[in-house]
Amino acid sequence: MVRNQCDIRDLSYPELTAYLDSIHEAPFHADQVFEWIYQKQVRQFDRMSNLSSGLRAQFKGHFILFEPAVLQKNVSSDGTVKVLFELQDKEKIETVMIPASQRVTLCVSTQAGCKFGCRFCASGIGGWKRNLTCAEILSQILAMNRITEARRISHIVFMGVGEPLDNYDNLIKAVRVINSPKGLNIAARRITVSTCGIIPMIKKLAEEGLQIELAVSLHGFSDESRNILMPVNKKYPIKDLIDACRQYSEATRRQITFEYILIKGVTCTEKAAEGLGRLLKGLLCKINLIPCNPVSEFDYEPPSRDQICSFRDQLQRLGVHATIRTPRGKDVSAACGQLRHTI
Ligand code: SAH
């Protein structure tokens, strides 16, 4: 049964039709409600003018459409917009809108804080607070549409605060609404889930039948090099992770993107490139090199442009398709690894 005053966006389409059935209303009202919420993007049940007043009253009595409060909005010189939202229980999250010539990408958070404590990332510094609900995940997209008045958001990347695969059920529920023609209608190939490498959940994701993109934060080429930067590697060692990625790409026939941070003198060495070449041999994948972005609590530095390019070239020679990620929104701390859940 539906909780009193639950956010209606916590209901999947089948759950909403089941709710309508339970109150003896026709299932087609679910289509109308989805259209109001995700396509017309209204925030009040009273504005859902093709529903009877009785049904609107019923929805108002049972559900809310919570709007996260905007605590801060920063606009980068490159047009990237970062918003710090406050949720109902005062937890905070950040969301980033990244405009480009052919696309508008939204970087969405999935948890308040993060448990995984990667040694270069701001998101885990204050620890982990809680999972976001499906409604809170979706509300970031709806709210950013309004706040930024941007061109239509075309791509979603789950690369904000938190570990998406550690909040699996709410993530998948949100992905289905984002992808559904009745919902936000964003193609699966324009939705990317990034993970620090939660192996059982990668295996589960492979069975979902979703055509979404999977990105895996690798950041090392061996257990030794990865353990130092990513404590999660002690639980899910790199060889097992690569095996899971291999199974994923075989089951879905999708290419995997590996993210690899470039830290001067640490990750950007010839030995690392050789190690990556060996590790990724024969896997349907590409590697996205991310020069490390500054986080005040850590004193890492990015390599020089020359070092970055020669690292990429060495990987290419070893048969690994490598690209360099251009940082966006760095001047307002909106780039990879700079998002937080505290002010
Ligand atoms: N928890 C998920 C989602 C975060 S995505 C994951 O780990 O994949 C954010 C990406 O930015 C990850 O690849 C992360 O490792 C990377 N990142 C974190 N801190 C960074 C920093 N200081 N500079 C560049 N990239 C960073």
Q: Tens digits of per-residue pLDDT, 238-265?
A: 999 999 999 999 999 999 999 999 999 9
Q: Which of 184, 190, 136, 159 lies closest to 82, judged by CA? A: 159
Pocket of ligand 1 contains residue 91 by CB under 6 Å: no
Respond yes or no: is residue 224 known to be catalytic.
no
Rounded to an integer, the average pLDDT of 56-67 is 96
Respond yes or no: is residue 114 known to be catalytic.
no
Rounded to an integer, the average pLDDT of 311-328 is 96
pLDDT exceeds 90 at position 29: yes
pLDDT of residue 53: 97
> What CATH superfamily classification does 69-332 receive?
Aldolase class I (3.20.20.70)
Residue in 94, 136, 213, 259 annotated catalytic: 94
For the chain, the domains span: 6-64, 69-332
Pocket of ligand 1 contains residue 192 by CB under 6 Å: no
pLDDT tens column, 192-203: 999 999 999 999
pLDDT of residue 11: 98
Atom 9 of ligand 1, residue of closest alpha carbon: 159
Query: What's the gap in Å between 326 CA and the centre of ligand 1?
Result: 14
Query: What's the gap in Å between 293 CA and the centre of ligand 1?
Result: 10
Architecture (CATH level 2) of domain 6-64: Orthogonal Bundle (1.10)
What pTM does this model have?
0.96
pLDDT of residue 173: 98
Rounded to an integer, the average pLDDT of 303-312 is 97
Q: What is the spatial distance between Cα 55 and Cα 343, in angstroms, rounded to a whole number?
A: 41
pLDDT of residue 149: 78
Query: What's the gap in Å between 251 CA and the centre of ligand 1?
Result: 26
pLDDT of residue 1: 42
Q: Which of 95, 69, 93, 102 lies closest to 80, judged by CA? A: 95
Q: What is the spatial distance between Cα 132 and Cα 109, in angstroms, rounded to a whole number?
A: 8
**Which ligand 1 atom sits nearest the alpha carbon of residue 162?**
1
**Residue environment code for 254-285, b if the CB has 16+ CB neighbours within 10 A, otherwise e:** bebbbbbbbbbebbbbeebbebbbebbeebbb
